[in-house]
Amino acid sequence: MINEELDNRLKYLRGLQTYDFTDYNDIIRLHLNESPFSPSERVIKRIVEVAREGNRYPNPERVEMFKVLAGRYCGVKSENVIPTPGGDGAIRLIVNNLLRRGEKAVVNFPSYSMYSVYSSVKELRLTKVNLIEENYTWRADTDALVNSVRDAKVTFIDDPNNPTGAKIFGGKEEEIREILETTNGLVVVDEAYHEFAGYSVTRLVDKYDNLIVIRTFSKAFGMAGFRVGYLVTNENITNALRKATTPFDVSAPSLEGAIEALLDPSYALENATIISKIRSNFTEKLRRAGFKVYDSVTNFILIKDARDLKSLLFSHGIAIRRVNDGLYRISIGTNEQIEKVEDVLLNSI
């Protein structure tokens, strides 16, 4: 017999909204902001090597190596870094260990959906602050945000923002300072798209006791399937969070692949440059044809359109994401893939 407390908890979880995991094969995948490029050859080679040692647990010394390289990549010390199973793993680590049921969480709206999902699972009180749409971009409603963060225990800010593709604070201290100094709660800046946008606030983690930055290998590094990322924060927080982690939380192939990727980040940075160029040309062509396309500093664009672009593109073998009524997000694929999208959008409607 299930006890009443457990039963209530199960009912609560069953009542939550399910994340939309719809996936498609044999189709051009532009719906998940993946990289169209596979991991670098040296990453693949290393992962194959490590697969042969799959009977062994990950080696803690390799975790240290990861932290040194990620720290160097971000301009911080290795002590500021904790590897996680993707950016999502970092969000879970924060929500599960640094927050308590009933506490207030603040997110921009729209923003990455997993902040709300994990906050709901933890039974946090969620407040959404609408981004302000302004011509071809979106910006944070700083006054509303400052007001809202005052009694928050955590504030999630994806910068650049998903799904708008907009810069929020753009890595500038003077822009984010008011938020960091108004709240006693944590401020989580999610830099999943950092390599495309080029800016960061990692240099501030030792200056503010409440700042945590999230990074991932899922986007520019083309390693979404390996589920590896990390968080960057002050040692006070990393030392505490280490009690809630083991060196085994990221699998050995993922950890070793990420180490190899960090030994030569130029592969990811060059791919980010290629993707950004494709995005700029794509945006320009669509705008010339009369589409409302927002400015983006990421590997995707957001389009406002009253027509059903998702079904239209799907009927041509292309998957994109419908974000909301009249808002469609298209990840940037290879040149050929984007030419197909252009062909449909410019010639079929």
Ligand X SMILES: Cc1ncc(COP(=O)(O)O)c(C=O)c1O
**Site for ligand X, rule CB under 6 A:** 33, 86-88, 112, 158, 162, 190, 192, 216, 218, 224, 229
Give the nearer residue to ligand X in terms of CB position, either 197 or 316.
Answer: 197
Taking the complex as a whole, the smallest distance from the CB of residue 9 to ligand X amounts, in Å, to 25
Using the CB atoms, write b or e for 179-206: b if 16+ within 10 Å.
bbebbebbbbbbbbbbbbbeebbbebbe
Position with the least CB separation from ligand X = 86
Beta-strand ranges (E) seen in 51-134 are 81-84, 104-109, 125-130, 132-134
Spatial CA neighbour of 152 closest among 102, 109, 111: 102
* Shortest separation between residue 343's beta carbon and ligand X, angstroms: 26
Query: Is 228 within 8 Å of 253 (Cβ atoms)?
Result: no
Q: Which two tokens stand for residue 87?
A: 């950016």
| Pairing between β-strand 300-304 and β-strand 292-293 as defined by DSSP bridges | antiparallel
Contact 342, 286 (CB under 8 A): yes
CB of 322 to ligand X, least distance (A): 15
CB nearer ligand X, residue 202 or residue 349:
202
Q: How far apart are CB 2 and ligand X at their closest, in Å? A: 32
Kindly state the smallest distance separating residue 346's Cβ from ligand X, in Å. 27
Residue nearer to ligand X on the CB measure, 112 or 291:
112
DSSP letters of 98-152?
H--TT-EEEEEES--THHHHHHHHTTPEEEEEEPEEETTEEE--HHHHHHHHTT-
CA-nearest of 248, 254, 241 to 93 is 241
Nearer to ligand X, 168 or 318 (CB): 168
d(CA 71, CA 69): 5
Indicate the residue among 40 and 218 with the shorter CB distance to ligand X. 218
Would you say 346 and 289 are in contact if contact means Cβ atoms under 8 Å apart? yes
Among residues 236 and 256, whose Cβ is nearest to ligand X? 256
Closest separation in Å from C-beta 88 to ligand X? 3
Shortest CB 201 distance to ligand X, Å:
14
Smallest gap from residue 141 Cβ to ligand X (A): 19
Locate 339 and state its tokens: 């030419």
Task: Rank residues 58 and 89 by Cβ distance to ligand X and give the closer one.
Answer: 89
Give the number of other Cβ atoms within 10 Å of residue 215's Cβ: 26
Give the residue with the Cβ less far from ligand X, 151 or 170.
Answer: 170
